[in-house]
């Protein structure tokens, strides 16, 4: 094990040229480490432990392959049997809810945004695991703590976050009159208008896309000084700031490629890779796929953070991926052991590299991973684990705030106005009623 540790440290120092070798750690090396880790681990799996784990369906093949290598090594090292199933973003929460309601079926769920907060009384206290990982990997970012802790207790472990950043075609941006990507709201609106005029349109989801729609529309609200709830959980969505955000998004939507009101989380990926779309908000998965399937698009695209708000400050809702362990599991020690093992730096660093920038950990030491600088187009995604807000915005994450994003209240408010189903006042009033019903 000591030789492996030395090799891993050397690989990290060497940078991008060794990324491929690091990301394809041999099965024997990983199994050897897993066996040594299991012997020293404070969590000893129960005899005959069998874990049912549900996770979101991957967007990057190499990320999923690296994850399954970790699962395989853990099984062989501990004797724990693991059954892993994959569902789309939209389907993870309903299936987790069913398990929570009946008290069986799933042991671990790795989901999106605020999943543990939907079931705060049904989850295992993971404070010991979070503390263990924090000591090994440089501590947790503020965002990571916000995604994992409730009333001082870790109700879930925030594995990583996917940056919901701007993916854009450079040549189209320059043809629209912008030599650099705009950092202000007015410049961004002008760019989107220019792209449409030139027949190289932008497009962001306004449908029930759990990741894509929620991320950029929360940004739009916050950028204009609006909030769904304030720091005291008072409903404040019906405001002049929200009205300005609605008008701004309507101006963007009028210049979007047709159909975005019905997009799901894969729609913009497909349109961008087909050359139909020239700007969108997404993770790095479009770029990863373009590098192998359409190198010309990959060479002409880049990434940027969404513009600063009216007060000159950056606010982002990136896609946090927390993992929870239900408290009705028969194998809590096995579940804790797996969660701690999967995030242990020795194999989590290769997994981060295999994700090619799609997973940005909330643990601070992982910002040193060479994946972030091996390609400058990856670098904007490096720090999203530190800059992200939770869906609660200025408030503390809670069960009600989790329900708010699950019910697409904010997304529907913007979509209803942009598509003409409601005017500004009615859209805000509808969102206000829905939010008050959740926070009553």
Q: List the CATH number of the domain containing 135.
A: 3.40.190.10
Whether 397 is in a domain gets the answer no
Is the same domain home to 243 and 99?
no
pLDDT (tens digit per residue) in 47-77: 999 999 999 988 889 999 999 999 999 999 9
| E-strand stretches of 66-145 | 81-87, 108-110
CA separation (Å) from 164 to 215, 348, 389? 6, 21, 12
Contact 119, 96 (CB under 8 A): yes
Torsion from C-alpha of 356, 360, 366, 372, nearest 10 degrees: 50
pLDDT (tens digit per residue) in 243-292: 999 999 999 999 999 999 999 999 999 999 999 999 999 999 999 999 99
Using alpha carbons, select from 106, 45, 41, 40 the residue that is nearest to residue 331: 45
The helix (H) or strand (E) run that includes residue 301 is strand 301-304
Whether 394 is in a domain gets the answer no
Is the same domain home to 178 and 88?
no
Whether 400 is in a domain gets the answer no
Whether 25 is in a domain gets the answer yes
Whether 37 is in a domain gets the answer yes
Whether 92 is in a domain gets the answer yes
pLDDT mean over 306-319: 95
Using alpha carbons, select from 74, 82, 21 the residue that is nearest to residue 349: 21
Question: How many structural domains does the chain have?
Answer: 2
Is the same domain home to 88 and 207?
no
Give the pLDDT of residue 25: 63
pLDDT of 97 higher than 50: yes
The C-alpha angle with vertex 232 and arms to 227 and 233, in degrees rounded to 5, equals 60
Whether 399 is in a domain gets the answer no
Question: Both tokens of residue 47?
Answer: 């005899």
Q: How confident is the model at residue 304 (pLDDT cuts 50, 70, 90)?
A: very high
Is the same domain home to 152 and 9?
yes
Whether 402 is in a domain gets the answer no
Q: How many whole angstroms separate alpha carbon 341 and alpha carbon 5?
A: 15
Question: Both tokens of residue 54?
Answer: 């549900």
| E-strand stretches of 305-386 | 319-325, 360-361
pLDDT mean over 352-362: 93
Q: Which domain holds residue 421?
A: 165-317+407-438
Is the same domain home to 28 and 134?
yes
Is the same domain home to 189 and 326?
no
Is the same domain home to 221 and 123?
no
């Amino acid at each position: 094990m000591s030789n492996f540790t030395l090799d891993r440290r050397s690989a990290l120092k060497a940078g991008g040229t060794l990324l491929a070798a690091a990301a394809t750690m041999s099965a024997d090396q990983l199994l050897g480490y897993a066996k040594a880790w299991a012997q020293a681990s404070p969590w000893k799996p129960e005899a005959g432990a069998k874990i049912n784990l549900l996770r979101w369906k991957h967007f990057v093949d190499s990320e999923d392959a690296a994850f399954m290598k970790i699962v395989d090594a853990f099984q062989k090292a501990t004797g724990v049997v693991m059954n892993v199933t994959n569902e789309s973003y939209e389907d993870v929460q309903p299936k987790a809810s069913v398990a929570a309601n009946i008290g069986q079926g799933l042991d671990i769920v790795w989901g999106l945004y605020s999943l543990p907060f939907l079931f705060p009384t049904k989850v295992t206290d993971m404070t010991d695991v979070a503390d263990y990982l924090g000591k090994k990997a440089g501590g947790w970012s503020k965002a990571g703590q916000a995604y994992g802790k409730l009333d001082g207790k870790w109700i879930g472990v925030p594995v990583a976050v996917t940056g919901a950043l701007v993916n854009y075609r450079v040549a189209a941006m320059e043809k629209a009159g912008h030599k650099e990507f705009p950092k202000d709201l007015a410049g961004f609106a002008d760019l989107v208008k220019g792209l449409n005029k030139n027949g190289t349109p932008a497009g962001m989801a306004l449908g029930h896309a759990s990741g894509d729609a929620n991320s950029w529309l929360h940004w739009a609200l916050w950028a204009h000084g609006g909030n769904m709830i304030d720091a005291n959980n008072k409903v404040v969505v019906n405001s002049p700031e929200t009205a300005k955000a609605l008008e701004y998004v309507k101006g963007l939507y009028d210049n979007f490629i047709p159909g975005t009101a019905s997009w799901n989380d894969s729609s913009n990926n497909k349109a961008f890779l087909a050359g139909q779309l020239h700007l969108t908000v997404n993770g790095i998965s479009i770029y990863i796929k373009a590098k192998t399937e359409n190198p010309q698009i990959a060479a002409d695209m880049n990434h940027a953070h969404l513009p600063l708000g009216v007060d000159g400050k950056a606010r982002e809702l990136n896609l946090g991926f927390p993992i929870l362990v239900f408290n009705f599991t028969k194998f809590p020690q096995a579940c804790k052991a797996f969660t701690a093992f999967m995030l242990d730096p020795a194999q989590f660093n290769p997994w981060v590299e295999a994700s090619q920038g799609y997973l940005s950990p909330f643990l601070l030491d992982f910002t040193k991973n060479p994946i972030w600088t091996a390609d400058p187009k990856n670098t904007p995604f490096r720090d999203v684990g530190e800059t992200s807000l939770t869906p609660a915005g200025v408030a503390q994450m809670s069960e009600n705030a989790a329900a708010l994003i699950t019910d697409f209240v904010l997304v529907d408010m913007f979509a209803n106005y942009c598509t003409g189903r409601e005017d500004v006042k009615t859209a805000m009033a509808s969102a206000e009623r829905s939010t008050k019903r959740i926070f009553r």
